[in-house]
Amino acid sequence: MPIDDIAAPLHAPPHSLGLELLVAASQCTDLERCHDLINQFLMRQRMPPADGPQQPPTALHASSDPHIQDILHQFLIEGTTEGIWLVDRDWQTTYANRALAQMLGCSPAEMLGLPIAHFMDEEGIQLAQALMARREQGIQETHEFQFVNRTGGKVWALVVTIPLLDRAGVFSGSVALVLDVTESKLAELTLLKQQALMQYAEQVGKIGSWEWDSEQRQITLSQGFLRIHGIEDVGAADIHDPWAFVVAEDRPNIQKLLEETKLGAGPFVVEHRSVRRNDGKICHLRTQGSALRDAAGKYLGFVGVSQDVTDRKQAEQELKESEERLRFALDATSEGVWDWNIQSGEVFFSDQWLRQLGYSRDNFTAHIDSWRNIVHPDDRPLVERTLQEYFDGHTVTYECENRLRTCSGPYRYNLDRGKVVEWSSEGKPLRMVGTDLDITQRKQAELAQAQLAAIVESSHDAIVGQDLEGRITSWNQGAECLYGYKAAEVIGEDVVSLLPAQGKPELQALFAQVRSGEPMKSIDTICIGKDGRVLDVSLTVSPVKDNKGIVIGISTSARDIADRKRIEAELRQSERQYRLLAENMLDVVWVMDVESGRFTYVSPSVERLRGYTVDEVLSQTALEAITRNRRQC
């Protein structure tokens, strides 16, 4: 077979060519020619691979030439660091080199005669059965496989398997090249195929390798590199300039690094931008490379790896924007944020946390003890107990209301909430983050509301709350005394049930006015008690509004005015009797307002005695009425 017939294509990795040289050597019947092919293989083995092994084109034919077998045997032992595994038609091991035996934790002699299933688990055996069937059909392929070594450890390998055919073309066994990829970083594995590169890309990012031959002015690019740049067909791309992808503004820096590396500066690492061919979008790459030199140190070109870090760059930008949004949000919110390293006691307090208490980073130490010192002494036991209950798993989150001392001295009410975000392997809390919310106004409002509720409850007036539909929502002790109903008997009932039939229209109209937003109304009316008694009450109806001024209910305050009504009736009766007496007396009876100096009442006998009518006397001052006598005029 002429060497030209097995020459690798432009972008084929060197290892693929080496494997084809091995194929050619196995088929060669000329001893000198076989030596030449093996030597070429060994030279190719010393060259850095570009993009992982490629599939050889044909199956190997076992050679009967003993000289060829000796040469191949010597090559297998001394010419490669990869594992080489030969099995017969029954899949029993007939040969294993030192590299393979070491990989599987055995000696070559110990492996002889063992079936390949000896180095597989149950899942591997099932997978191998399908692969062995393909070998028996004469199909060669490259795949990843997980073996089990002598100690039971898992060994991941990239396996290139080739079926062996005798002169009659009948399957007689298989040979495999085995590369251990268990501990290596995928970024450093240039012998992996696209599957391994894709696996690495999924784990740590997309990787592509490249090689620049300075003398031939030829660039070799891996499939991963092409994929990064949106190129499916390298032939159609017609790539001659190794830096044609790089954004123009970034080229001078790369060219400078290349020149320095060429002159002996060593490997370089640079981040730059490149343009994708398929859509013109910009991608960010991290490229590292080094100069290729011959044994004499002569510069031959460059070899390197480029990693697509576009996602990382975008993540960094998004993180930056997120941090800015968070900072703006924290500045705008009334909540302060804290981050507590529980082991060291160090605490990060946000600017808002410090600001709402009047502290600064200069006068407040970022430590948990500083926080404990400003907790109100009466609240410390509650805080410690609540925190410990959370650490012990009795609550889902930590939440506690407490009082904190401000920088100026007064305490303010605070709602403290937090959650552990990092635990040790022993279940101990390591890091906790949370927020503090100033609830002073809320607590003051709650206190005022509690005081108001106490006043309402202790009031002798019957104070009743109702919603906009007229259903009773609250009922104080005064209401129980006045109406005779317990709160449980009337809560949820219609307030109209307390009104007599003749009073309902008037009160319903009054309720409607208040519901529409009109101010407080007061009237004297009657209500019905639990025992059926008619109650004289002074009723005040007020709207209940929310913090936006919207009417959300009605409050009524009723006061028993039975005694007042009785006194008023007695007063009216007394006044009638007094008038009757005064108007029938011969003497003049009068009542004078001392402040105004005028009479407010004069008996009719004044006209007979003084000559003035009652109206005339009331229109004069008391002095005029006393000193002037019409009869004398």
Which amino acid, one-letter code, is at 417?
Answer: R
Beta-carbon contacts of 82 under 8 Å, excluding residues fewer than 6 positions away, are 99, 177, 178, 179
Mean pLDDT by 10 residues, the chain (633 residues): 30 40 47 48 44 43 48 53 87 89 90 92 91 88 88 86 84 87 55 50 63 82 80 62 82 89 88 85 89 88 86 81 68 79 92 90 92 94 94 93 93 92 90 89 77 69 83 85 86 79 74 79 80 82 81 82 78 73 68 78 73 77 68 47
State the Cα–Cα distance between residues 630 and 632, nearest whole angstrom.
5
Does the pTM exceed 0.85?
Answer: no
State the pLDDT at residue 591: 76
State the Cα–Cα distance between residues 292 and 209, nearest whole angstrom.
14
State the Cα–Cα distance between residues 376 and 383, nearest whole angstrom.
10
* Residue-by-residue DSSP string for 69-105: HHHHHHHHHHS-SSEEEEEETT-BEEEE-HHHHHHTT
Q: For residue 119, what is the enclosing H or E element?
A: none
Beta-carbon contacts of 113 under 8 Å, excluding residues fewer than 6 positions away, are 92, 93
Tokens linked to 93 = 């091991």
State the pLDDT at residue 420: 93
Length in residues, the chain: 633
* Residue-by-residue DSSP string for 582-601: HHT-SS--EEEETTTTEEEE
State the pLDDT at residue 323: 66
Contact (Cβ atoms closer than 8 angstroms) between residue 292 and residue 301: yes
Radius of gyration of the chain (CA): 51
Q: Nearest-CA neighbor of 1 among 409, 12, 23?
A: 23
State the Cα–Cα distance between residues 450 and 453, nearest whole angstrom.
5
DSSP helix/strand/coil, 48: coil
| CB-facing half-sphere around the CA of 383: CA atoms within 13 A | 20
| Inter-helix orientation angle 31-46/14-27, to 10° | 160
Please give the DSSP secondary-structure letter assigned to residue 28: -
State the pLDDT at residue 368: 93
What distance lies between CA 90 and its chain's CA centroid? Answer: 57
State the Cα–Cα distance between residues 392 and 380, nearest whole angstrom.
18
State the Cα–Cα distance between residues 163 and 134, nearest whole angstrom.
9
* Residue-by-residue DSSP string for 279-344: T--EEEEEEEEEEEE-TT--EEEEEEEEEE-HHHHHHHHHHHHHHHHHHHHHHHSSEEEEEEETTT
| Inter-helix orientation angle 66-78/31-46, to 10° | 10
